[in-house]
Amino acid sequence: MRVLVDTSVWSLVLRSKQNHALSHYLSELIEEGRVEMIGPIRQEILSGIRSEKQFDKLKSVLDAFPDIPLTTDDYILAAHCFNQCRKNGIQGSHIDFLICSVAQNHKLSIYTTDKDFLSYATVLPILLYKNGIP
């Protein structure tokens, strides 16, 4: 199964000097050609980089992962996800619900360290990638 890698994973892996499980699993996904990207995640990853040199280097690394084109259906489903979660007392960001929507529409699992997705998964039909398991 292909995997939409959330900003939280990219940030920890790219900024950490430690070789931890997140790095291992992300490396495996990259080697297997299973990593997917969307523009809003790319934007979050690149935002806040102070050095132009670091920005350009990171942008080059991310260029290996083309964006899934987002459609009107993705945005409509994201709004529906927001409404379903809100109805169940679960709050979240618009980007998080767009991630959930794209994952549903493209049959992707989501690789994240953001605990909010555990709450979303109680209401939405999303699959979370955990410890090498889609």
Q: Over the stretch 68-126, which tens digit does the pLDDT of each residue have?
A: 999 999 999 999 999 999 999 999 999 999 999 999 999 999 999 999 999 999 999 99
Encoded amino acid at 7, one letter: T
* pLDDT band, residue 19 (cuts 50/70/90): low
Mean of the per-residue pLDDT values for the chain? 94
Q: Which two tokens stand for residue 126?
A: 């999303």
Predicted model pTM: 0.93
Phi, psi (5° rounding) for residue 25? -70, -40
Ordered structural domains, the chain, with CATH? 3-128 (3.40.50.1010)
DSSP letters for 45-92: HHTT---HHHHHHHHHHHTTSPBPPP-HHHHHHHHHHHHHHHHTT---
